């Protein structure tokens, strides 16, 4: 029965962690974004994020975010990322609907992959960051 369940492949939906200047506090912040690079609107995003490291058994609390609609070729800020959490593996479990069909994917930023020398320009955001496809 399990083999009969069709799980569609996620395409053109990405997660990014970007470095942004915070004018209120005069410092750089790390923020996570969900990106819809499709030509159609997507609905009812549920995003569950957590950080962990198996070796040291460190864990963060679980955060949940809901986004009702993400228009075509757009993005939305998911959360602020404390720099101390970047030394952990950070995963984002993303579920959303496209044309009344449910899609699901986990995006993982491995520890040590979000740092200055690895930043690249994220096209839709026009900001430097790390992108996970």
Q: Contact 91/107 with Cβ under 8 angstroms? A: yes
Instruction: Walk along the chain (133 residues) and give the pLDDT tens digit of each residue.
Output: 566 667 789 999 999 999 999 899 899 999 999 999 999 999 999 999 999 988 878 899 999 999 999 999 999 999 999 999 999 999 999 999 999 999 999 999 999 899 888 999 998 999 999 999 9
Q: Are strands 42-53 and 63-70 parallel, antiparallel or unpaired?
A: antiparallel
Q: Which two tokens stand for residue 105?
A: 């994917």
pTM of the predicted model as reported, rounded to 2 decimal places = 0.92
Q: Which two tokens stand for residue 104?
A: 């699901």
- State residue 4 phi and psi, 5-degree precision: -85, -10
Rounded CA separation 32/16 (Å):
6
């Amino acid at each position: 029965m399990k083999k009969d369940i069709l799980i569609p492949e996620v395409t053109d939906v990405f997660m990014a962690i970007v470095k942004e200047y915070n004018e209120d506090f005069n410092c750089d912040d790390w923020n996570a974004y969900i990106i819809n690079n499709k030509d159609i609107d997507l609905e009812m995003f549920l995003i569950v994020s957590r950080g962990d490291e198996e070796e040291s058994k460190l864990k963060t609390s679980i955060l949940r975010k809901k986004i009702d609609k993400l228009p075509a070729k757009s993005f939305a800020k998911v959360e602020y990322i404390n720099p101390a959490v970047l030394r952990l593996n950070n995963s984002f479990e993303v579920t959303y609907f496209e044309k009344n069909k449910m899609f699901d994917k986990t995006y993982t930023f491995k520890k040590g992959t979000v740092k200055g020398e690895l930043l690249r320009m994220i096209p839709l955001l026009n900001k430097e960051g790390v992108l996970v496809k």
